[in-house]
Structure 1
């Protein structure tokens, strides 16, 4: 069930409906009466294929104000206005949406949208804390352009992000506990590019989706996230996440080392180039000049190993290894060797090739721990892998602060 509050961001709810229905889910839209001033019922009906009502006296024989909540596998409220959050926190039930919120026993997620002053008001903060204490998922809103000329914190999360988190909660209802509250997390994502001439570069196929999923899930679990992003411009920035854009391995290294000292957790999910051209040519290599000279490569610094060497005693460091097997060893054996060599607390090992790991929406692999524990991560969305990783990281952080 998608509840829609009366805010200008209601138009974004249309994209959430489309994203969930295209994923094969049956979506029932329940707007407030005022929300229909922003987007008409006909639009939601056309997108969802289901009737749209806002009052408790519509379709009375079906007892919709009870049945919708009872039958839902997930309730998402987007936008969740200050008024809706207040009503939900205090158990008010004066329309179909608020009645549904009282009858739902499935996971419930609110995605706030309001002006900054409303979000920061003590009443709203108290209402959000109450909802979270009851098990509701309430990620912080994004920062950016609001209505009129105003900008600030209070912008609703991108519809693609809401859709992704909704899918995660359908598959893993307990995937978003508020267990990283106040923890500073640094995540690297994407693939670096090492320039050869003004046109060409050495790079890799990393899309950054896994790193962005890690940042998105961590933020929803309460973390303060710094995302070091290498060439992932087409991905929407997760709400509440601070992004530092980089290009080369050297730039990524500098950004990670600048952010890491204040972080409790550093996750190196980026595909950092192992080598770079020894010299950057001033002019494009011309085909008419014949075969170019062999490209001489220099080795880039091992950022993960440097983080391990320089870390604080209680800092949790996680590496990623995209591996292929060969005649000498398989993917998992290479991962074990890399974990011992790098010295990180955890290492996620992915097998690449044949549409796996890079440039796809799903992932799988193994989570290796320094204490020898090994956990297979089944095939699923990259957000599911992210949730599994944060479960392990949260446990390590908890031990460090015990």
Structure 2
């Protein structure tokens, strides 16, 4: 996917800059031409000679060589590239990008680039969570820049959480995936209709309280974008989430409760070719939803709950040729429970992930999955960004549909 692509690799001042060497090697191995541009603050973290040797090009880190008078034309660099990847992207450089500041070669090239820009931040978890950093990232994304979210794990500070640079293998996979989508080469689901559920459901207790879960909806949204990029017409039935859809072929339907999600799915179900149940639907809801806010009184509150509709199981019974994909989030006896759900709900595939796996489950930018098929086969995948996981799931679906 990257063969012959011209990639500008920006390296910023971060302890994660050492990963730029491996990243450069992987890009070159994939057939890309790589031009490395370093910020002045990146120089103490990794030597330009290392990156120049791996990229087979001189590393640029200043506007001009004052000894020879050679000018490094930032406009020409921006026009040369098929993609600009900044990894690691520091909080400082992201703030400069967002503010239009231009005090080094990398920021000048960014402002001149006409190609897609991919930003892979690396910073401590509190820096990444800070409102100013979040606002800068949101602003950059609103301009069409692509965010490769940092992964969770042990950080240089000794703290543990989200902030570490995505692994180079994941970055290269996401870059290749996105560039192949934009090239329009694929579209193996052209003419297919795909229904996807995403996010949590909220089951009301009273006007201000609800039963819910920690699902962000990111997995379902990534699947929707991936399916649309393959040419599918996508209906995305979404519970409450802050995420937004980008592709014009995605029709988003917003719901709150499990019952609303079921009704929306049922209304579209008969015309679909593929249905992916990626939502984290609440299993129970209050028997009575109070019309007024429940006042605090006494030391305890007892709620009577009843089961919500099992959307996948109910629609599985009405299956008439649809290809059904479910999800299983387990904490014990994972494979046994996943295979049982696959059979009981009349699914064609089920995607298993475990809350016991570090970096998997709710609230993470990454996931680690195993896909089980009704034919008895299964495939296990390493920890990846959820966008890359979505691509893996879609490949499994396409291979089973025999439309590749």
User: Same-fold call, TM > 0.5?
Assistant: yes
Moved more, 262-271 or 158-167: 158-167
Verify the 8 A CA contact 1:307 1:317 in the aligned structure 2: no
Report the CA distance between 1:196 and its aligned residue: 0.8
- Partner residue in 1 for 2:252: 243
| 1:291 equivalent among 290, 296, 300 | 300
* Structure 2, unpaired ranges of 5+: 1-5, 24-37, 43-59, 86-113, 117-139, 150-167
- Helix, strand or coil for the counterpart of 1:196? strand
- Partner residue in 2 for 1:342: 345
- Partner residue in 2 for 1:197: 206
| 1:171 equivalent among 162, 170, 173 | 173
Verify the 8 A CA contact 1:316 1:396 in the aligned structure 2: no
1:174-323 matches, cutoff 5 A: 176=181, 177-233=186-242, 235-240=243-248, 241-292=250-301, 294-313=302-321, 315-323=322-330
Question: How many residues matched?
Answer: 282
* Structure 1, unpaired ranges of 5+: 4-15, 28-43, 78-108, 112-155
Verify the 8 A CA contact 2:62 2:72 in the aligned structure 1: no
Report the CA distance between 1:283 and its aligned residue: 2.3
- Partner residue in 2 for 1:373: 377
Verify the 8 A CA contact 2:359 2:383 in the aligned structure 1: no
- Partner residue in 1 for 2:396: 392
Moved more, 174-183 or 257-266: 174-183
- Partner residue in 2 for 1:80: none
Q: After superposition, give the CA deviation of every residue in 1:236-295 in whole Å (9 maximum; x if it has no partner).
A: 323222211110000110111112222211100000111111101122222235533x21
Report the CA distance between 1:181 and its aligned residue: 1.9
Distance change (3 Å), C-alpha of 1:250 and 1:332: same
Verify the 8 A CA contact 2:359 2:366 in the aligned structure 1: no
- Partner residue in 2 for 1:139: none
- Partner residue in 1 for 2:364: 360
**Which whole-Å CA distance do the structure 1 matches of 2:217 and 2:41 have between them?**
30
Q: TM-score when scaled to structure 2? A: 0.59
Q: After superposition, give the CA deviation of every residue in 1:55-103 in whole Å (9 maximum; x if it has no partner).
A: xxx96999x989x97xx8x6369xxxxxxxxxxxxxxxxxxxxxxxxxx
**Which whole-Å CA distance do the structure 1 matches of 2:62 and 2:317 have between them?**
59
Distance change (3 Å), C-alpha of 1:51 and 1:182: farther
Distance change (3 Å), C-alpha of 1:280 and 1:374: same
Report the CA distance between 1:51 and its aligned residue: 6.5
